[in-house]
Amino acid sequence: MSDLYAGLDVSLEKTSVCVVDAEGRIMMEKTTPSDPSCIADLLGPVTGSFKTVGLEAGPLSQWLYFGLKDARFPAICIETRHAKAAITAKSINKNDRNDARSIAHLVRSGWHKRGHVKSIESQELRSLLVAREFFVNKLRDHENEIRGLLRPFGLEVGRVGAAGFEARVRDLTEGRARLELIVDTLLRGRASMMDELAILHRELLRVTRNDEVCRRFMTIPGVGPVTG
C-alpha cells in the first residue's frame, strides 16, 4: 500500500484537493465543499495510506483540522509563510488547483513548518474576549456620536462616567422635544448594548475565577480579569 500525501487549498466555499504518492505522482485532483466531512468523503476512497494531509493556516483551518482528525486523517496546518513560499516557487500559473498541488508536494517533502492549532476551548475564550471588546468599542463610539450630535447646539456633555452619562445627556436636552426624541432613541440603544456587555463580562469573570493561571496573574498590581 503506497504512502499518500494530500494538499488542500481552502476557500470559504470550495476546497481544491490534490493527492500525491511518495514518488510525487498525482493520484487525485478534485474540488469539494469546504467542509471536513466532504473532504473526508473525498479522501476516503483513495487507495493507499495517508501520511499527511496539509492545509494552510487560515479562517477555516481549525474547524477543518479537528474535523479531519476526528475522521482519522493525519491533518496538519502549515505556517502561512512556508506555504506561500512553496506555492510561489512551484506554481507558474497561480490557481486553486496548482496551489493544492504545491501544498501536497510540500508536505511530501517535509520542508514545511507546522502552525499551531489552538484548542476549541482556547478559541472559544478568544472569541469571548473579542466579542466583549466589540461591545466596549461600540459603546465608546455610541457615546462619542451622542456628544457630537449635541455639540453644535452648545451642549457639552463634558467629563462624566459611564454611570452618569445618561442622566447628563437627558438633563442637557430637557425641554427640547426633538433632541429629547433623538437622544432617547440613542440612549435606549446604549442601554441595550450595556446589558449585552454585562452578560459577556460576567462570563469572563466566571472564567477567571475558575482558572488558576488567571488568578495568579491577577495578583500582579494593575492586572485585572481582562488582562489576566
Measured CA to CA, the distance from residue 131 to residue 201 in angstroms comes to 10
Q: Tell me how many domains the chain contains.
A: 2
Neighbouring residues of 205: CB distance < 8 A, sequence distance ≥ 6: 225
User: What pLDDT does 115 receive?
Assistant: 77
Same domain, 96 and 132: no
Closest CA to 183 of 145, 215, 218: 145
Q: Is residue 92 part of a domain?
A: yes
Closest among 54, 152, 63, 148 to 105, alpha carbons compared: 54
Which residues are 19's β-sheet partners? 6, 28
pLDDT of residue 117: 82
Is 200 found in the same domain as 127? yes
| Nearest C-alpha neighbor of 162 from the set 143, 148, 146 | 143
User: What CATH number does residue 78 fall under?
Assistant: 3.30.420.40
For the chain (228 residues), the mean pLDDT of every run of 10, in chain order, is 88 92 91 94 91 88 92 89 68 76 86 80 90 95 94 91 91 92 94 94 90 84 82
Q: Mapped to the 3 state alphabet, what secondary structure does 65-114 carry?
A: HHHHHHCCCCEEEECHHHHHHHHHHHCCCCCHHHHHHHHHHHHHHCCCCE
Write out the residue range of the structural domain in which residue 7 sits.
3-109
